[in-house]
Amino acid sequence: MKHNRRKEVIRQGTTVEQLVRSIADMIVTGEMHPGERLDEISLAARFEVSRTPVREALRELGAMGLVGREPNRSAVVSNVSGAYLHGMFEAMAELESICARLAAERMTVDERRELELGHRNSARLVHQGAYEDYAVYNVEFHTRLYRGAHNDHIYELVTQTRARLAPFRRAQFRLPGRLSKSFSEHEMIVASILRADGAAAARAAYSHVAIVSDASSAFISGEQSDH
């Protein structure tokens, strides 16, 4: 019976990436509090995996600044300061602004068409209030911007920064009305890129990330005040 259970878990595709997302979301939403111990054995039992992917997930969460570990001690939930979070979003806004400008100048006809089509299709998710699905789409939308810049070095920098901010960017979509506002902000970026207006695309992208920063901070502050 135990053997079959393990095969079922593996078949479902539990990965380090999924563990990172699940644990990060629990930290950002306040389900796990700053200073709380993150025991590998308990987490492995909770997610029905071995300790190896849990250990790797905790290492990645440490690189994201969400988890701390002292020598010969268990990992603990870090206290992410507002200043640290603001600094990361500030860098993200600059990088996305560059990507949007370059995308407006360099995207192929097919890339522009896919960007517009994806954006139009996302309206359905907004109307449904499907924030989890919209969060998945949002990653795809921004990846198209990064790829559209056609600069591998910038792509590497922006995706690394996005990975560290991912839990905070997902959290924003739980705020009332945030999906429709995000859609409107995307609309400005898409429209600018379709008319090849690099300056307008850069402004729209920078403004979008700045608003995301405020929305994410507002969500996190509200969650923490409830605990």
- Per-residue pLDDT tens digits for 166-215: 887 777 777 788 899 999 999 999 999 999 999 999 999 999 998 877 76
Instruction: Say if residue 115's pLDDT is above 60.
Output: yes
Q: CA angle 110-156-169, nearest 5°?
A: 85
Q: Where are the domains of the chain?
A: 16-77, 82-218
Q: Give pLDDT, residue 66.
A: 85
Q: What is the pLDDT of residue 216?
A: 63
User: Distances in Å between the alpha carbon of 103 and those of 4, 44, 56, 183?
Assistant: 49, 42, 34, 19
CA–CA separation, 139 and 116 (whole Å): 15
16-77 and 82-218, same CATH topology: no
The pLDDT value given to residue 1: 40
Query: What pLDDT sits at residue 4?
Result: 40
| 102 — pLDDT class (breaks 50, 70, 90) | very high
* pTM listed for this prediction: 0.74
| pLDDT at 10 (0 to 100) | 32
Q: Domain 82-218 is of which CATH architecture?
A: Up-down Bundle (1.20)
Which fold does the domain 16-77 belong to in CATH? Arc Repressor Mutant, subunit A (1.10.10)
